[in-house]
Every structure is written in structure tokens, then in C-alpha cells.
Structure 1
Amino acid sequence: MMLHQGLPTWATLLLISTTAALTLPNYRGLRIDQSRQGVLHIAFNNPDSEINVWGEDALKGLTDIVQRLQNDTETKAILFTSDVPKYFLAHLDVLSQPLDPTISQRSVELFYSLTNLPQVTIGAVNGVARGAGNEFLLSLDMRFAVKSHSRFGQPEIATGYLPGGGAPQYLPRLIGRGRAMEYILTGKDILAEDAERMGWINKAFDSEREMKAYIDDMLKVLTLYSTRAIGLNKNAINVASRPPIANTLADSNAFSESAGRPETQKLLGDFLELTQNLSATDVELYLGESVPLLYNLSAS
């Protein structure tokens, strides 16, 4: 079991309060910080993965947290970060085979529930977010990133899948049909600066300190408002911009059906070989550039 060192010091830039919005238990793979009144800070820290993959611990923990937040009127904003250097959420945990056929559907349902929360949801990224990690971010209200380490992408096509957590529905609404086609069909990465320009993320920053300061200033304003007012405005925007859950569930079903195909299983095995079983190598760090190498393995 790995313990990640050098945790971000977000709390040092937040106004400290002894009042917690709600009482939460400990969750495996999630670090909870409620030191600022009205703000719930959740940091991903998968103890079994050096690249911080999206798996059962995060899925179950966040599902429980979202249920508790639905009727909570004290929490105004939820801030998501990562404790793992260079990785926000790398992608789905595909190390355990066969894949749980329900994990895609349960992730879609969680992501949709996140959009329904009356609180503001914010992702602060300083690392890689691909596949399910990027789809998690797409379900949030706002996304911010540091230019130096942040990369986003949907590499599923390289292993014979389609993104099953919502990217084919959310991305075209954010960046347009043509650009969504480009990034989903090639599986290549997009860097934070380009992601900002296209609307994939809200804003890109030169340093983590600048990003923290910007978000902190925004939280000072957001925590002044009532949860009812925040939820009312979010609902109106959702009507205009959020894809129907039936569409994302259809993609989830197609993702699950792909898992049983022989060519998909072969490519997934090659992917695990290429990434050294999801190790923190340059292949994982620059996966968008590495995925064509899968086809060299498949041809051998």
C-alpha cells in the first residue's frame, strides 16, 4: 500500500472556521477537509495506485457524500483536488479483470447526481485527468488547471471502447462537435492552455498558487449566498446545457458491451503491458502520445 507524500496545502489559503457543514466519516481514497465554513474540500488519494486511478473506493465514497449533501444547506461549495503529484485522476482502474460491468453505469449515475447538487462543484487540477477522470471533471460546474502538469483526454478508443462516463455527451456541448470528434476519435491529450481556449476548462494558470488564490477569492463570494439560491441558478443552467441522463446511460451500456469483445480484451491486455500494470511511467504520463504504441504490440 502506497502513501503519497507532499500533500497540497489548500487549507493554508482558505479562511479557517471551526464550523463544519455536516459530519462525514472517513473514506478510503478520499481526504476530507471541512476547515472552511461552507466549503467541503475533497482530495483524491488512491492508496493502491501511484497514478490515482478512478475505482470502487472513490465511486462508493463520493456516492455516499453526494447523498448526504442533497439536503445540506450549510455547504455552499465542494472543491475537488488530488494529493497525488502529477495525477488528478488518471483513468478508470482496469487492472482488475474482468471489469465490473456495472462500474460505468454507477459512475454515470454519480456524475449526474453531482450536476444535481445545490452546491457549486469545482475541480482544481494540477495533473493528468483522462478517461473517467476527465468525465468526472466534465460533470462539475467549473474546472481550473495549472498549465505545467495538467493534461486531459479520452483514450478509450485505443482499447476498443468508447468513453462510457459521459464525455461523448458533455464534450460537444463545451467545445463543439468537430473538436469533440478530434479528441475522442484520436485519443490524444489536450493541454490546459488549449483546453481553456476551447472551453474544456474555465481557466488555466501559470502556477498552483495562482490557481488557489483565484479559487479562494471566488469561494469568498460563493459562500455568501444561500444554497437554495445557488441550486436555483444551477438548475436553470442545467436545463440549457446538461445532456439527458438517458444519453449518457446509453454510452455506458455500449462501454460495458465492448468489454466482452475479443479484440477489446486483447487491446486491454496490451495496454496493461505497455503501462507496466498502470505504473507511473512516461507512458501513463504522456498517454495521449503513447496509445498508438498499442498497435505495435498487437501486430507482434
Structure 2
Amino acid sequence: MSSLRAVKMMPLGYRILPTSTLPRVVRQFSSTPARSYEYLLTSKPKPGVGQVQLNRPKALNALCTPLISELNEALKQFNSADDVSVIIVTGSEKAFAAGADIKEMAPLTFSEAYTKSFIESWSDLTTQVKKPILAAVSGHALGGGCELAMMCDILYCTETANFGQPEVKLGTIPGAGGSQRLTRAIGKSKAMELILTGKSFSGADAEKWGLAAKAFPSYEALMEGVTKTAETIAGYSKVAIIGAKEVVNKSQDLGLRDGVEYERRVFHSIFGSQDQKIGMKAFAEKRKPEWTHQ
């Protein structure tokens, strides 16, 4: 949840690129004008796919309360949009999110942080968004940036992406789920080592350890691959997609016996959908199904 101020972490000669020079990998599919945000760019790059790009380049997308508020609003809009089935969350080639904004956190007292539930809203996407969220991570994903990436349903990254939970270096600990999600993903011993030392790890390591579904060789390949996967998912029934996300996420909260029973109940409930009938009939007739998403 901490921020590593970008310039200190960059090699000599690093400079912040103006927004206008950031790579434009994905074209806008929808002709509908996007809502204007201060810290985000939103688009619909493919049918059924919504994209949210963090856009605070001078701070390497460091997370602050106004940015998180906009992110929650953008995700809520896509979650309720009939023409969106899958959401991509990404940053720039240089940084997914370099951490949380230290300037916002440093002056907080215990009573302020505790009584106002500081950063509780950062977890809204894990509880309020029913559609799958795919993270596309390039560059730095540190502290809060790493936690945000792990909140997403599938994490993709570049091989050179820079992950880490370096809060210990600032005299604090992860506060937006880093200790919990990282441990579940890669195991106690490795997560403990990373959190206690504050060491960073690469996108290649993230894939090797099972934190990332896939690491791509470049930013362009990352965005192309993630968009293609999102388009594939968006081609299925929304009913099945949302149900599948629900049962997989439930596996993180329940024991095996309860989890299997929960999965079976959701499986049974989907027999009440039109798409289950459409899908199975189309399979039997060896033709492509035409989903109603009902």
C-alpha cells in the first residue's frame, strides 16, 4: 500500500513522458463518448470489453483517494453496462501503479485512519463488481499497486514488470490485502520473505510462482494478449461468466466440502437460465450458440 516515489527507483536518465506520448495500443471500439475522469481513461476496445486505464503519469499512477473513487465509479458503470461483459484494468508502460500516495497517508493519525476506515473503499472492486476484471500490468506495481493488481480476477503482466510490497521500508505493513492475497497466491514462506524484506520481484517470477496467469515479452504483446482473452470471455454467456467468477472466488473463503456444495448450488441455479438451454441445444446440434445473457 506504500508508494515508492518513482524517480528514486528509476535509472539515471529516466524522465516522465507526457500523457500525449503514452503508447496507444488499443483502439476505441465503441463510438459512445466516454465519461471524462481526472485520473482515468476509459474505453471499449472490443465488443463486450470495457477498459479502465489509470492516468496519473507524473506520479506513476500512485494511488490516492480521488483516483480510487473514480476507479470505483468507472468499474460500477461498466458493471451495469449491458454491452460490457469483461473489464480490463491497466496503467501505462512505465507503471501500473507505483504505490499509494505518501503525501496523503503520512499525516494521518491512528484515530483518523481507524474511524474513517481509510482505504476500505479500495476493496470495492472485489465486492461490488460481478463481472470478471483482468489486470494488465506493465512497469511498477508496488505496494498499493501490487494489491490493486491482486484484487483483479486474472493478473497478466510483462516479464519485466516490477512487483512488490515494500511497506516495511516505510515503517508500516500492507493495508489493502497484500499480506492476505500474496500469501494465498504464492504460499506463506515466499510471501513472508517478500513482505519482511520489502524485496521486489519480476513479472517472470509472478508467472512462475502462480501470481500471474501469463507474463508477456513486451507491453504491446501484453495489451494485445489481454484484450484477446477479454474478447474471448465476452463471447460467452454473461450468466455463466458471472457464475464462474462467483464460485472460483468462493473457493478462497470456504473449505473444500463447503466450497463444492456452494458450487453445486450455483450450478443448479444456472439451469434456470435461458443461456443454459441455448448452449446445450447448440452443442447437440453442432452450431454456435446465440446468447441472450438471461
Calculate the TM-score normalised by the size of structure 2: 0.72
Paired position in structure 1 for 2:73: 64
Over 3 Å counting, the alpha-carbon distance change for 1:193 and 1:29 in structure 2 is same
What is the correspondence of 1:169-180 to structure 2 with a 5 Å cutoff?
169-180=180-191
Offset at residue 146 of structure 1 (A): 1.2
Q: 2:19 aligned with 1:4, yes or no?
A: yes
Larger Rg: 2
- From 192, 207, 214, the counterpart of 2:203: 192
Structure 2: which amino acid aligns with 1:146? Answer: T
Paired position in structure 2 for 1:78: 87
- Kept after mapping to 1: 8 A contact 2:50/2:78: no
Deviations along 1:60-92, one digit per CA (max 9) or x if unpaired, are: 101222333443343111111213x42210011
Over 3 Å counting, the alpha-carbon distance change for 1:10 and 1:82 in structure 2 is same
Deviations along 1:94-135, one digit per CA (max 9) or x if unpaired, are: 124414727994534442433542211111111000111110
Offset at residue 234 of structure 1 (A): 0.7
Q: Distance in 2 between matches of 1:71 and 1:103?
A: 31
Secondary structure in 2 matching 1:41? strand
- Structure 1 gap segments, 5+ residues each: 244-300
Q: Distance in 2 between matches of 1:159 and 1:24?
A: 38
Q: 2:46 aligned with 1:36, yes or no?
A: yes
- Kept after mapping to 2: 8 A contact 1:115/1:140: no
Secondary structure in 1 matching 2:251? helix
What is the correspondence of 1:179-258 to structure 2 with a 5 Å cutoff?
179-241=190-252
Structure 2: which amino acid aligns with 1:92? Answer: A
Paired position in structure 1 for 2:101: 93
Offset at residue 24 of structure 1 (A): 5.6
Q: How many residues align?
A: 235
Q: 2:123 aligned with 1:111, yes or no?
A: yes
- From 19, 25, 37, the counterpart of 1:27: 37
Secondary structure in 2 matching 1:200? coil
- Kept after mapping to 2: 8 A contact 1:118/1:227: no
CA RMSD of aligned residues (A): 2.6
Q: Distance in 2 between matches of 1:104 and 1:143?
A: 30
Deviates more, 1:218-227 or 1:154-163: 218-227
- Kept after mapping to 2: 8 A contact 1:89/1:130: yes
Calculate the TM-score normalised by the size of structure 1: 0.70
- Kept after mapping to 1: 8 A contact 2:53/2:89: yes
Paired position in structure 2 for 1:154: 165
Over 3 Å counting, the alpha-carbon distance change for 1:189 and 1:126 in structure 2 is same
Offset at residue 144 of structure 1 (A): 1.1
Structure 2: which amino acid aligns with 1:88? Answer: F
Q: Distance in 2 between matches of 1:160 and 1:219?
A: 39
Structure 2: which amino acid aligns with 1:42? Answer: V
Deviates more, 1:64-73 or 1:203-212: 64-73
- Structure 2 gap segments, 5+ residues each: 1-16, 255-294
Structure 1: which amino acid aligns with 2:80? Answer: N
Secondary structure in 2 matching 1:79? strand
Over 3 Å counting, the alpha-carbon distance change for 1:91 and 1:103 in structure 2 is farther
Paired position in structure 2 for 1:285: none
Deviations along 1:235-275, one digit per CA (max 9) or x if unpaired, are: 101110259xxxxxxxxxxxxxxxxxxxxxxxxxxxxxxxx
Q: Distance in 1 between matches of 2:53 and 2:26?
A: 12
Structure 1: which amino acid aligns with 2:24? Answer: T
Deviations along 1:183-233, one digit per CA (max 9) or x if unpaired, are: 111110001111110012111111223222322321231111232221111
Secondary structure in 1 matching 2:220? helix
Offset at residue 42 of structure 1 (A): 1.0
Structure 2: which amino acid aligns with 1:89? Answer: A
Paired position in structure 1 for 2:143: 131
